[in-house]
Structure 1
Amino acid sequence: MNTTQIPARSMTTPQWARDAYRFPALPDDLDQQESTTAVDAGGDYLLAAPDPMQRLPFALPAPDMRRLDLHAALTTSGVAPLPGDLAAIHVLCELDDATVATVLRWITSTG
């Protein structure tokens, strides 16, 4: 079986990608911008922190927040919801905050 070697990712932009005629909006200092990108020890590119001023100006409705909390608690506990469980989660989301908090406590309790 033939194997194809995949070359390592180059840290500089190839010449063909810097062609000003093909990409007129390309900045002149592209290689300098790449060299200032933060890279952690694992070779992963780190993202900049989100700007709080660019957040959308609305909040999720309470049932949607409860649904996220229930899914997060189940996932954290290692319980993967089955397709039939989604209907039960939907019903639980419609309950009041105190009841959902109790269910969350039951799910996340270690004892």
Structure 2
Amino acid sequence: MGEKRSGPYFCGIDAAMDVLGGKWKSLILWELHAHGTRRFGELHRNLPGVSEKMLNQHLRELAEDGIVDREVFAEIPPRVQYSLTAEGRALNAALAALGEWGKRRIDRIGAQRVHGVA
């Protein structure tokens, strides 16, 4: 995989956004927080619009950053499960206030929400 990111950073937000860069990473974190351990296919089905390539890339990067645990089972075919690490749970807790702000924005601007999502 690619080189591990390690700064330099201007501030804490810069370092956090380095881990969260892109639309799908925060949604992967939300999905794992809301539903616990997931297999790749479950994540792919529950995140409509993400390509398999992009999902795989983001999961690997989140694992490299210590946010997601990638557990491979020695089976045929191989089974891989993803779950949040302690760092991932801490990051989700830090994002909670941002999520609440976003919900208020959705209401304020009258944007539609994806069906079935809180």
Q: Give the greater-gyration-radius structure (CA).
A: 1
Length-normalised TM-score, structure 2: 0.24
Structure having the higher strand fraction is 2
